[in-house]
Each structure stands twice: as C-alpha cells, then as structure tokens.
Structure 1
Amino acid sequence: MPSIPRVVTAVVVALAVALIGTPALAERAPRPVLDTNFADPAVTVRGDGFVGFSTGSLVPSSHSDRPGASWQRAGSALVRLPSWAHADGDVWASDIARVQGWWVLYFAAPVRGIGEYGRCIGVARSRSAVTGFRPVGGQPLVCPSYVSTPPAEDQVPITLPGLPRAGVIDPSLVVVEGRPHLAYKTDRLPSSIRLLPLSASGLHAAAPSVELFRHDGVLENPVLIERPAGWVVLLSQGDFTRCSYRTVWRRSTDLLDWSAATSGVLLDQSSGLCGPGGADVTPLPRSRRLRLYFHAWTCHGRSTPCDPDIHRDRVRRRSQAIRPMYAAELDWVDGVPVVASFLSR
C-alpha cells in the first residue's frame, strides 16, 4: 500500500478536527437560560416564576417571572457574611426554601484553619425571596469540630474513620415525613453524604447528622427527591473543572440505607455540553412536574461548549470560561430520572 505524504495527512487531520470541534458541537448543544456566570444554581418557585442563587460573592441571585420568561440578575442575596466566616473566597453552592413564612438560605462560607478551600455551612433568612438575607446566630449550622469557629450546631465528628480534615459543603434542604432535613457533603476524598434533621423553622439542628453513604471519588451536590418507590438522589460526579464532570443518580427504597442502591447517569458530555453538573430540581409553578437546573462550561463569550483541556487554569482564563445556567424538563421512566427536553431562552 503506497504511503500517504505527511503534509496530506496533517491537512486531513486538521480538517477532521475542524469538522468535529467546538463550533459543530455548539450547533447541537443545548443553550443556556441565563447566559452569564451562574454556577451551582439553586432554584425554587416564587409565585408564577422562579428565584435562583449561585456560587459567588455574597450569593448572586436572579429571578424569572414565569416558566418561559427570561432570567434577570438581582444582586447579592446575603446582606453580609456571618461573623464566623472570612471574606477570602466565594460562598459556594447554596440552597433556598420557603419555611414558615420566611425565605431560608443555606450556604457554604469560607472559614480559617482547614486550608484555602475550607467551608462551613450557615443559614440566613429574609422576607424577600431575592435579597436581604441576614445570617442567623453567631455559629455555623454545620462545621467540623476542629475548625476555629464557635462550635457548630452539627459538629461532624473528628473521629470519623477514613475522612480527611476538611470542611462541609453543598447544603440541600429536603422534607422527610413533614420535617425539614439538610443533606450535605463532607469535602475532599472520600466523599461522604450526610443528613441532618432540622427544627420546624429550618434554622437549627434538631438531632445529630447521620452518614447516608460515601464514595472513593468525588460525589457532591446531593439533591434528594422522594418517589413512590423510595428515594432518588442526584449528585455531581468528578472534577468540576473538566468536561467529564456529570450529573448522576442513585436510587434506594430506604432513605437511611443506600447499601443496595442502583445508580446511573442523568447528564454528561453526550448531551453536547462540557461538564454538566451542580444540578438542582424544582417543581413548576402550580404543578407537580419537575424541572432541572444546572451549569456547564462555555467559552469565548458565546454559548460555545469549552474544549476538553478547560481544566487547565490558563486555558480557562484565555478562553473566558464561565458556567451559565441551563434548564431541562425532568421525566421518570421505570422510577429512574431522565431528561425529557432542554429549555432555551
């Protein structure tokens, strides 16, 4: 067989890359509903529309007046950081709920003593759904017992075998038998997901937290959903800086026993998106149907999915990488969550 000149081979390879590269991917990829940086969205219903919150300084917020309307930025949700936190870093992955006539915001704020990325969980409340949230109390709601803060209401035991000295992140409210509970993750590896019973107001711990399960790799951002046959938890898996970051699910008949849970993938790169994760689920206004909100990486100031090397810091800066918010209608097939369709602006 005659050899092919190297220059011709190079041209063919370059052409192939151009044809299957990012612009072609962008043509078939879903489009953001909020095309600005809005990572780890937490969304809930307000009237006929929605309110949303993201990772960032003092918890950036946004709102939409109805299910098909555009999203508008609305400033910072938190009036100030709690007294036990410090200002050297963003507030991560919040959650929002309406409890006893108040809007209650759960968040992970930076603390001293557990490294650059150490976070503990606090709670704030407001009469407004979008702004004016003031931290409750002078101590964290959840924080490891060895951190230099006032003792938290739920102190993750220092003696837990196999867990690193790290913080707690990704608070997510769930109602269990009519009572509010807070799911959260212990940071770093291995990942562990814990559940904390809360007072009726949602502002205080009602009993110590319990571990639901742990995982050798990164499993974070737990969102628990009660279903007729038991419980489903949505999680983000992997390195959030990579396009391989994805949204997965686990299903169990028992909320407190996940040893026999089944699992699967809800959303990954096959959707045409780079790193779809940080998901939240909310019902539609005046409906029991569920909608999924999540982020994914886009680059170059457009709704263009980023290239696979986005995990490199210099590439993210050069590519103007952000994580805008996407939305999809959620459906169920044989008790398993599936994406029925993607939404756009």
Structure 2
Amino acid sequence: MTRHLTRWAGALTALAVLPALLALAPGSTSASGADDRLAAMAPRPLIWERDFGDPSVVFDGTKWFGAATGFRGRGSDSANDWGIWNPTGDLLNAKPAWAKYAGVWGPDLERGPAGWLAYYTMPSRGLPHAQDRCIGVATAPSVDETFTPVSDRPLVCPDYSATEPASDPVGGRAGLPRRGVIDPSSFIAPDGRRFLLYRTQGTPSTIRMIRLNPAGTGTFGTSRELIRDVGVLENPVMVQHGDWYYLITSRGDYGDCRYRTIWRRSHFRHKDWQGTRGHALVNRRNSGVCGPGGADYVEATTSHANRLFFHGWVCKGTNLPCYQSYQGGKDFEDVGKRALYAARLRWTKNGPVLSAFVQGPEPVPPPPSPTPTPTPTVTPTTPPPTSPTSPPPTSPTTSTTTTSPTTSPTTTSTIPIPIP
C-alpha cells in the first residue's frame, strides 16, 4: 500500500558501496567465507528480539506503528523508525465468527475515512488445507488501539468455503487450486477510490484486485486477476508514481534466504501486468539479509523520504543474518526469527532503487555478572613443636627419669581470608 508521512529522520547506511564491497572482498571458495562477507554488510534490524514477519508499517504523524504475523496479529510502535520498537500487544481484540482460530498472517494497516482499518487473514472452515485462509477487515478509532472485526462474514473468501458468503467470492479461478487467499494490501487511487490486492494460495499463484467501498469495509463489483505465476508470487503492494503503476511483490519460498523482493510496472492499474519483467529491489546479494521479503512501502510528503520496510531471517538470540533453511517441519522460531528492516527508497526514471538502509539500534549488552560474595574459610594450623616427651639418654651409670613436657601444646586462632 501507499502511506504518507509528514517527516523523515533516521540513521542511514549508503547502499552504493555494497556491490563494491563484494567485489573487493578477499576471494573465498568456502560458503562460510561468502556468508561472513554478506553478514558483515547487512544492516541492523529495527526489531529482532521477537518474530515480526510480513510487516505493515504506518506513521500517524506522531509515532510509527507496525503490525505483523502472529496470534491476533502482533503490534509494535516507536517514536522513530530507527529507535526502539516496543511491543503493543494483539492487533485484534477478538476472533471473528467465520475463522477457525485466531492466527493472523500478513495484516495490513490503512487510514480510513473515520479512524483506521486493519485487513488480515485467518484460517476458515470448509477450505481444503488447515492453513487455507480468508480475508477480514477490522476497525479502530486510532492506530494505537486494538481493532474490532467488522462482520461475522469475511471480506474475501472463495465460494466453496463453509463460511457465510464473502463480499468477494473470488470468481474466475480457472486453472487454480482450490485454496484460500492471503496477503491483503490496500491501495488508494489519486481520486480517493479504494482497492484491495491479495494473493490466491497454492501454485500457480495469482495477484488479484477488487474495488472497496468508501469506508473500506465492503467491496464493489468482482475481483480481477492482475498477474499469474507458476511459482510463488505474494505480498503485493501497489504504488502510483508519475505515469506508472508499480507492483512490488515477494518471490520464492519465504523460508529460504533466496526469497526476495521484486518490482514491475504498467501504465494501467488493472491490466498489462502479465508478461512484464520483474526487477530486483532487495535480495540477499544487495543487502546481506537472509530472505528479504514481505515488503511494505511508505511514501513521504517530502522528496526522497520514501521507505521500504521488509523482514529477513536472523539467528535466534542475535540481530545477525542466519543463512539456512527455515522449513522442513521444524519450529523455525527455535532456530531464527524474522526481523524488521527498513531502507530509504528513491524513484528514478527506470524505477525504484534503494539508496540507504535505516540502521536499527545497537543490541543492548547483557549486564555484567555479579561478583560472588566471598565465603569465609577456616585454615587449619599445625601446632608448634613442643619439648620431647623423654629426655635425651644419659650415661649408662645414670638412671633414666621420666619428666613432663616443658610446654603445653598451643592453639592458634585463624582470621578468615577472602578468596579472590
């Protein structure tokens, strides 16, 4: 989606030097050597202590707010995008009646005509797979409050689900698997009309668009397919800049470091997307980030102050990239987390490019271990020597007499000595 800011500030690292760093780095035939060089050039993430995948980020004029995948959706806020992001709790205050359970994927925040809107996905009854989903919408008076689902029926859901009929039943699915829908993303045209983009699950995958009502809580007409891909194409974000419409998407397996963010463009909002070339915007090679995807675009009101927020994998307990697979049935949060990153985006006649990364806060070092309190110890002592119990022998003619010792054994008191 396109979002508008009123100011821009942040710590930045220029991107122009990154290809040169790769070219000048010492040669290495080992994968670990290449990984080390990539990790060294990666920016510091904004959020890394907790998982923050598929981010949606907005600025309300005072603070930054973010929402991400998680139970009822995860929320965070920050006074500065490069500062400390504090968790704010659940995005939604309830599970809608149409959902099986409250696990949210890829929420999307947008300012509404009266308050704020949150588009989200939850698993729905009647769909073939456990994680097949439908799209709902929720509202809140302000973005820092929890959102309340609008309806007992979904906004977008295939007509073969067991829920109440959705506003958009996802018609015209010829050649697609019977799956759900994910990755809602709002787009507001210059004339104020609202649209919603989303992805159909399974492969081939498609990106679709439908017009919304002025409130953003219902639909007009039917959705149409913008583009179809034999693989995974997801997380659509539409931006209008100049005479072009731009479509920013993620490509590939989100659990792989080769997952990446690409863009394409068309002169028309609803057509001529199929067959357009996808251009790299952020990937592992030009960022050092493992699997940079799930991107969200925030447009500033001043020149060259646009931002791209995206997630990438970091090793558990660190803010450093972790170049491994996060699939295979294992609990990925036991291995790594999806951190939140940000970059400054600049428009050129040839399309968008990243000009600098926003550097997140330095990790807070752990407090020093307390010095243990010394334990007093008693040092044993050896009694001093005493007189022999028998006198030395005398001449043979002298009788031997037994005498008492000349001194008594001495007891010594010890002073406790601290052990360093």
**Please, what TM-score do these two structures have when normalized by structure 1?**
0.90
In structure 1, what residue type is equivalent to 2:359?
A: S
Alpha-carbon spacing, 1:317–1:183, altered in 2? closer, same or farther (3 Å):
closer
Match runs of 1:307-326 below 5 Å: 307-314=323-330, 316=332, 320-326=335-341
Query: Residue 79 of structure 1 corresponds to which residue in structure 2?
Result: 93
Alpha-carbon spacing, 1:287–1:126, altered in 2? closer, same or farther (3 Å):
farther
Identify unmatched segments of 5+ residues in structure 2: 1-27, 361-420
Give the number of equivalent residue pairs.
328
- Shift in Å, 1:16: 5.9
- Shift in Å, 1:80: 0.7
Query: Residue 289 of structure 1 corresponds to which residue in structure 2?
Result: 305
Query: Residue 167 of structure 2 corresponds to which residue in structure 1?
Result: 153
Sequence identity, in percent? 38
Query: Residue 295 of structure 2 corresponds to which residue in structure 1?
Result: 279
Q: 1: distance between equivalents of 2:341 and 2:173? A: 37
Alpha-carbon spacing, 1:300–1:21, altered in 2? closer, same or farther (3 Å):
farther
Q: 2: distance between equivalents of 1:309 and 1:315? A: 11
Query: Residue 58 of structure 1 corresponds to which residue in structure 2?
Result: 72
Tell me, yes or no, if the aligned pair for 1:45 and 1:283 is still in contact at 8 Å: no
Query: Residue 334 of structure 1 corresponds to which residue in structure 2?
Result: 349
In structure 2, what residue type is equivalent to 1:332?
A: W
Tell me, yes or no, if the aligned pair for 2:208 and 2:227 is still in contact at 8 Å: yes
- Shift in Å, 1:315: 8.2
Paired residue secondary structure (2:213): coil
Match runs of 1:43-122 below 5 Å: 43-87=57-101, 90-114=103-127, 115-122=129-136
Q: 1:173 aligns with which of 186, 195, 201?
A: 186
Q: 1: distance between equivalents of 2:137 and 2:302? A: 27
Alpha-carbon spacing, 1:303–1:72, altered in 2? closer, same or farther (3 Å):
same
Q: 2: distance between equivalents of 1:202 and 1:242? A: 34
Match runs of 1:206-285 below 5 Å: 206-257=220-271, 258-259=273-274, 261-270=276-285, 271-284=287-300
Q: Is the helix fraction higher in 1 or 2?
A: 1
Q: 1: distance between equivalents of 2:121 and 2:326? A: 25
Q: 2: distance between equivalents of 1:317 and 1:62? A: 19
Q: Is the strand fraction higher in 1 or 2?
A: 1
Tell me, yes or no, if the aligned pair for 1:67 and 1:284 is still in contact at 8 Å: no
Alpha-carbon spacing, 1:285–1:134, altered in 2? closer, same or farther (3 Å):
farther
Query: Residue 203 of structure 2 corresponds to which residue in structure 1?
Result: 189
Paired residue secondary structure (1:43): strand
Tell me, yes or no, if the aligned pair for 2:46 and 2:83 is still in contact at 8 Å: no
Query: Residue 30 of structure 1 corresponds to which residue in structure 2?
Result: 43
**Please, what TM-score do these two structures have when normalized by structure 2?**
0.74
Q: Quote the RMSD (CA, aligned, Å).
A: 2.0
Q: 1: distance between equivalents of 2:68 and 2:333? A: 20
Q: 1: distance between equivalents of 2:34 and 2:353? A: 27
Moved more, 65-74 or 196-205: 65-74
Cα deviation, 1:175-203, whole Å, max 9, x if unaligned, reads 12311110111111111111110110001
